[in-house]
């Protein structure tokens, strides 16, 4: 049986925030009319070049499980917003 990771208190909040910040810092360069391109390396095939914040958010996977949960929360919000109103990371 796989063991569960239990993290709480300041350490958990700090790790979640680090994951949120990592994703936000990666996406924020795509914001606005002067948004820059982001190159996304994949395990196979050619790299992808995009200015779409949701695409950038979807491709980010962090090694630390708790940090990745923080990034996953922001990723879900951006994805839902994109589905309803367009690219929610740049509006």
**What are 37-66's pLDDT values in tens digits?**
999 998 899 999 999 988 999 999 999 999
pLDDT at 89 over 70: no
Average of pLDDT values for 23-41? Answer: 92
Neighbours of 72 (CB within 10 A): 18
pTM for the whole structure: 0.80
DSSP state of 50: E
For 39, the 3-state DSSP assignment is strand
Contact predicate 39/48, CB 8 Å: yes
């Amino acid at each position: 049986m796989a063991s569960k990771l239990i993290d709480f208190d300041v350490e958990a909040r700090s790790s979640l925030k680090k994951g949120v910040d990592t994703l936000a810092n990666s996406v924020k360069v795509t914001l606005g009319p002067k948004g820059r391109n982001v190159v996304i390396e994949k395990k196979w095939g050619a790299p992808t070049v995009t200015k779409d914040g949701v695409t950038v958010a979807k491709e980010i996977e962090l090694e630390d499980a708790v940090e990745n949960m923080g990034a996953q929360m922001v990723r879900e919000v951006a994805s839902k917003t994109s589905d309803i109103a367009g690219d929610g990371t740049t509006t």
